[in-house]
């Protein structure tokens, strides 16, 4: 005598799992839990893109404030060349205007074709700090 046990078909098990997932999703939607999930994941994403705009703006404001402590325009330009604003590439892509002590303006964010050399001679090493500021020109 062979006894056969009755089992659930695999289709029934799969449908039950899908139904449970849908119910959990509906509960999250109606209780506001999905909004908390979306807001917490949106906080993770933009921080990597923050360098583009907000971070460059912070770097520019910080170096402008630091440059304000000097009365020598060549020292101010050297501060700018050694700043995070320049080292992170913001000076090439992010437009900002710096005012020097003598009233001159340094326009930055003009692209990779522009270069502000800090010495009178343009060297063969290209437009690289600390001897030059890429993406900027003196107005």
- Residue 116 per-residue DSSP state: E
In this prediction the pTM is: 0.61
Cβ burial, residue 69 (10 Å; 0-12/13-18/19+): exposed
Nearest to 75 by CA among 84, 66, 87: 66
- Digitized pLDDT (tens) for each residue of the chain, 139 residues in all: 666 667 778 888 999 999 999 998 888 888 877 666 656 555 444 455 555 788 888 999 999 899 888 899 889 999 999 998 998 888 898 899 998 889 989 999 998 899 998 876 665 668 888 889 999 998 8
97 near 67, Cβ under 8 Å?
Answer: no
Nearest to 115 by CA among 67, 123, 103: 123
Q: From CA 139, how far away is CA 130, in angstroms rounded?
A: 20
Partners of residue 98 on adjacent β-strands: 106
Cβ burial, residue 34 (10 Å; 0-12/13-18/19+): middle
């Amino acid at each position: 005598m062979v006894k056969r046990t009755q089992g659930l078909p695999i289709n029934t098990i799969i449908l039950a799992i899908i139904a449970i997932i849908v119910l959990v999703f509906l509960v999250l939607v109606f209780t506001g839990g999905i909004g908390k999930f979306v807001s917490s994941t949106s906080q993770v994403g933009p921080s990597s893109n923050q360098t583009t705009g907000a971070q460059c703006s912070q770097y520019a404001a910080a170096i402008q404030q630091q440059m304000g402590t000097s009365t020598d325009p060549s020292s101010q330009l050297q501060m700018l060349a050694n700043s995070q604003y320049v080292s992170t590439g913001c000076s090439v892509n992010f437009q900002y205007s710096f005012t020097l002590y003598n009233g001159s303006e340094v326009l930055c964010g003009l692209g990779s074709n522009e270069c502000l050399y800090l010495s009178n001679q343009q060297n063969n090493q290209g437009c690289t700090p600390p001897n030059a500021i890429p993406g900027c020109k003196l107005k």
